[in-house]
Chains A and B, each alone.
Chain A
Amino acid sequence: MIRFDDVSKHYAGGQAALSQLSFEIARGEMVFVTGHSGAGKSTLLKLILGMEKSSAGQVLVNGSNLNRLPRNKIPYHRRGIGAVFQDHQLLFDRSVADNVALPLQIAGFHPQETRRRVRAALDKVGLLSKEKMFPERLSGGEQQRVGIARAVVNRPQIILADEPTGNLDPELSADVMKVFEQFKSVGVSLLLASHNLSLVKQLNYRTLTLSEGRLIRDGRS
């Protein structure tokens, strides 16, 4: 589903954020990415989402080579991916429900169907009671869960999550992981970046460990 072939990424004027990464993630596989701050975890996810382009090597997602994907095809590529961002990327001028509805509106779902799916997604992350609130009023962890609801609402084939449990207590983290595992069980591929080594160890999934942009370990923690 996701394949990296010898991928490197240099930001303009900077050092290498990623160097010569190669790995493959199958359909229905759930994989963690860990590493110190600045190791390149976010960069890795941005490459898959088409937010950044690799400087060298190929990134293949669902069979298509992102380096050769024309600009106007990138939106359709992104619709197949649910992404949770490290900085949430919520819109503060609209309610929680409207934030979660965004991917569905863009894909052109009927308002009724949109509402049904939004409620289902918010229910999964335990925020159904707050659907009418504005993100500003929510705690950091709640905002994070709104971001997770938005990532899964369109039932994507791939879920990318950058520190999805960064602001959550252990109990909520476990709940969120259960949501991700449900998606894994129906064939979704997941790539989760996390600092939280104890959580990663405890769940015992395949883990990619980055250090200064290099893949230093690929295996079960």
Chain B
Amino acid sequence: MTRGPHARARHTRPQPSAMDKLLWQHRAVARDSLQRLLRSPVATAITVSVIAIALLLPALLFLLQQNLGSGIAELDRSARISVYLETGLSDSEAEEVSNYLQTWDSLLSVELVSSSQALADFSENAGLAGVLASLAENPLPATLLLIPRTSDLADLEALQAELESLPEVAVVELDRTWIARLQAIRNFVSLLGRALLLFVLLGLFAIIGNTIRLAIENRRQEIRVQKLVGATDAYIARPFLYTGFLLGSAGGLVACLLLLVLWLLLGQSSRELAALYNNGFELANLSLVSAIGLVLLGGGTGWLSALISSYRNIAAIDP
């Protein structure tokens, strides 16, 4: 019952499609929301900074976790797997096993310590040459020192099982305490990041929701009039949803910029630190995908908190 038959008779222009209507309205509304935000630059800047700093904390933990991951990978190259072969093997048989393991992609390097070499080392170091010389046979096994490519504990354990299944292999010793410790730290940081993210999102809901509530309060009379001339709650909410989205994504963008600044500041000293440890470690920055993710996370959170806040507060205004 928007228009009567008389209106149609006077007005012969074809009606715009619902899609076109939505498009005009959204364009106008988005522009209006942006203008309103820019009209009070100080308040907007404060809100955006608060959102940015809130988002910065979990993003930093996320980066720390990633850097710990690549740090572990670097450190692991000094962590080895020791493989003790069966004692009965001859030096050439041990050589064969070593050559076979060289072909494995999962291993970075394979170093063979033959049983005769082990015997020589042992007698030199321990001063037990006499005792050993009296034995008819060499009691020491050949040993393979392996450097694995992976740093993941589960992958290492799978590798260990695979090595143990070889018939020539007696015992596989994995130096896992160091790895397990680092992995535990990494898991802890990751968990902390996720917990923090949850709290930050709740905080953002409160901050943005309250900003929207105040904006609605300021435009109470306008909303009353809009309702009187037939605006739906969804129509009235639209500019506030844009406001929430714009605030949130601006916060995400500023958080990305802050991360970039931090990275530039820390990058040099981290390289120096890595050089001291003779380590190729390079401080990782946020990837482009993660940066876009952070902006969208901010925007999405802003939109959702505006949605919740505006529906509650707009419905409460009854003309």
Contacts and interface: CB of A to CB of B under 8 A. Distances in A.
Interface of B: 1-7, 10, 13, 16, 18, 20-22, 24-25, 28, 221-222, 224-233, 235, 319
B24 A110 contact: yes
Interface stretch (A10-18, A31-39, A83-91, A172-180): A83-91
Nearest to A106: B231
A70 B114 CA distance: 88
A108 B16 contact: yes
Contacts of B28: 105, 111
Given A106-B235, A111-B24, A85 B1 contact: no
Contacts of B13: 113
B2 A91 contact: no
B227 A62 contact: no
Contact of A108 (B5, B21, B229): B21
Given A93-B222, A110-B16, A113-B13, A75 B3 contact: no
A198 interface: no
A154 interface: yes
24 contacts: A51-B228, A72-B233, A75-B230, A76-B1, A76-B230, A79-B2, A83-B229, A85-B228, A89-B225, A89-B228, A90-B225, A91-B221, A102-B225, A108-B16, A108-B22, A110-B20, A111-B24, A111-B28, A155-B4, A155-B7, A156-B4, A157-B1, A157-B4, A186-B6
A117 B44 CA distance: 36
Contacts of A103: 229-230
Q: How large is the interface on A (under 10, 10 to 19, 20 to 34, 35 or more residues)?
A: 20 to 34
A80 B235 CA distance: 17
Contacts of B7: 155
Interface in A113-162: 113, 150, 154-157
- Most chain B CB within 10 A, of A85, A89, A111, A150, is at A89
A13 B234 CA distance: 33
B222 A91 contact: yes
A106 B229 contact: yes
Nearest to B222: A91
A154 B1 contact: no
Interface string A62-80: 1000000000100111111
A95 to B, nearest CB: 14
A121 B139 CA distance: 109
Given A93-B222, A108-B22, A187 B228 contact: no
Contacts of A156: 4
A167 B70 CA distance: 78
A65 B104 CA distance: 81
A23 to B, nearest CB: 21
Contacts of B230: 75-79, 103, 106-107
B24 to A, nearest CB: 6
B229 A78 contact: yes
- Most chain A CB within 10 A, of B1, B13, B28, is at B1
Contacts of B18: 108
- Most chain B CB within 10 A, of A51, A85, A106, A113, is at A106
Given A51-B319, A72-B232, A188 B225 contact: no
A18 B271 CA distance: 83
Interface in A39-74: 49, 51, 62, 72
A98 to B, nearest CB: 11
Nearest to B318: A51
A108 B18 CA distance: 8
A201 to B, nearest CB: 29
A72 B5 CA distance: 25
Nearest to A104: B229
Contacts of B25: 105, 108
Contact of B4 (A76, A85, A107, A187): A187
B235 A154 contact: no
Given A51-B319, A155-B7, A186-B6, A89 B231 contact: no
B4 A75 contact: no
A180 B141 CA distance: 110
A188 B3 CA distance: 10
Given A80-B2, A89-B224, A75 B24 contact: no
B228 to A, nearest CB: 6
Contacts of B235: 75, 106
Given A76-B2, A106-B235, 11 more contacts: A76-B1, A78-B230, A79-B230, A80-B2, A83-B228, A85-B228, A90-B225, A91-B225, A107-B230, A155-B7, A187-B4
Contacts of A186: 4, 6
B229 to A, nearest CB: 4
Top 5 closest pairs, chain A to chain B, by CB: A108-B21, A79-B230, A80-B1, A78-B230, A186-B6
A155 B16 contact: no
A180 B3 CA distance: 17
